Amino acid sequence: MNSTKLIFEKVGDIRSTYPYICIYDEHDRVNPFMDIGITDDKQVQYILYASKRNIVLSNEDWSLIQNKALEFLPKALADEESEARRN
């Protein structure tokens, strides 16, 4: 099975303690179907958005999403800690 082309975009939001990653697929580069975020307990959180069309993901897609999340978590936490020390 072919993997869907996934697009990952890191987003900073002043309403959020930590940045998050929006995930788009090749058919809709405007509306993300999922976000990878960080909870107040410093855990990875996945938010799936309702869509008018089905998003089909392969095992490879899920693995890629999980790997991106596991890479993102320590970097985002370290960046936030570094920013807090500067202020």
Say what the alpha-carbon torsion angle 7, 9, 15, 16 is, to the nearest 10 degrees.
90
Summarize pLDDT for 30-55 with one digit per residue, the tens. Answer: 999 999 999 999 999 999 999 888 99
Q: Please give the pLDDT value at position 83.
A: 74
pLDDT class of 16 with cuts at 50, 70, 90:
confident
Contact 23, 7 (CB under 8 A): yes
Q: What is the mean pLDDT of residues 61-82?
A: 94
Using DSSP, state whether 61 is helix, strand or coil: helix
For residue 1, is it within any domain? no
The residue segments making up the domain with residue 35 are 6-86
Q: Rounded to an integer, what distance in angstroms lies between the CA atom of residue 85 and that of residue 52? A: 44
State how many domains the chain has: 1
- Token look-up 């072919």 returns 2
For residue 65, is it within any domain? yes
